[in-house]
Amino acid sequence: MKSILTFILVIFSFSVQAQNDALFSKATDAYNSADYNKAIESYLAIIETGRHSSELYFNLGNSYYKLNQIAPSIYYYEKALLLKPNDAEIINNLGYAQNMALDAIELMPETGLSKIYKEITGRLSFDQWGYAAVIFVILFVILYIVFYFLEYATQKRITFITSLLSLVLAVVSTVFAFLQYSDFQADNPAIVFDNEIKVTSEPNKKSQAVFTLHEGTKVYVLEELKGYKKIRIADGQTGWLNSESIKVLRDF
């Protein structure tokens, strides 16, 4: 019985993959024919099957950008960047889309140590740092075994030092993976989809507006209460807005 279920799951998996490949090809053809709405429809159909990839989100961002739809284009470029950090093409297109947004929010100044920390740990995502740690551990084990089979002292010395270096890099990669994952968990970005939204001081309709945001602006969700979300913007200002006015990026 178990083998039959496994066989059915494998067949179903291949069927879904084949369907997604066909949809992706259909979407690409539509995009190349400048039928961007049709391309978007096919890309979204792939997402509904549970598939997520930076290429898929990037193509969606491009399709919405061609239609001059600011919020969804920025939204999907940002999602693509989450899955493939530091990708030059995604960053470049995201910059073009952000230039269409109305809000120009100045970033909070960072200290030198903060910049160095982000520069180093941000080179890889937390899962990539994890993979690096595994590779260095495997390298350490291999070198440590090789060490016992070498005859010459110089070779043994070089192998021993290299194995220790691999172990140190494994520890460092593990620490960076943990730090990146902690930052990932604490960070909850979202994109404003309303053309214009008043951000209030409290989570209710009668509360006073403290500032206004427009579509395409990136915010960070701090907490949620009764249909409202407390958000922070890049310059450090905080406030409350309707939960339906924004779309959280990390919904996959």
In the structure encoding, which two tokens stand for residue 115, read together? 């910049």
pLDDT, residue 126, reads 84
Output the CA–CA distances (angstroms, integers) from residue 48 to 17, 98, 119, 208, in the order listed. Answer: 13, 26, 35, 39
Q: pTM here?
A: 0.74
| pLDDT score for 53 | 92
- The pLDDT of residue 5 is 43
CATH architecture of 189-248: Roll (2.30)
CATH value of 2-98 in 1.10.8.100, 1.10.1130.10, 1.25.40.10, 3.40.50.300: 1.25.40.10
The pLDDT assigned to 118 comes to 78
Domain extents in the chain: 2-98, 112-186, 189-248
pLDDT in the model for residue 51: 87
Per-residue pLDDT of the chain (252 residues), as tens digits, is 445 444 343 343 444 555 677 888 898 899 999 999 999 999 999 999 888 899 999 999 999 999 999 999 999 999 999 888 889 999 999 999 999 999 888 766 666 777 788 788 878 878 889 999 999 999 999 998 999 889 888 999 999 999 999 999 999 999 999 988 887 777 899 999 999 999 999 999 889 999 999 999 999 999 999 899 999 999 999 999 999 999 999 886
> Which residues pair with residue 192 across a beta bridge?
246
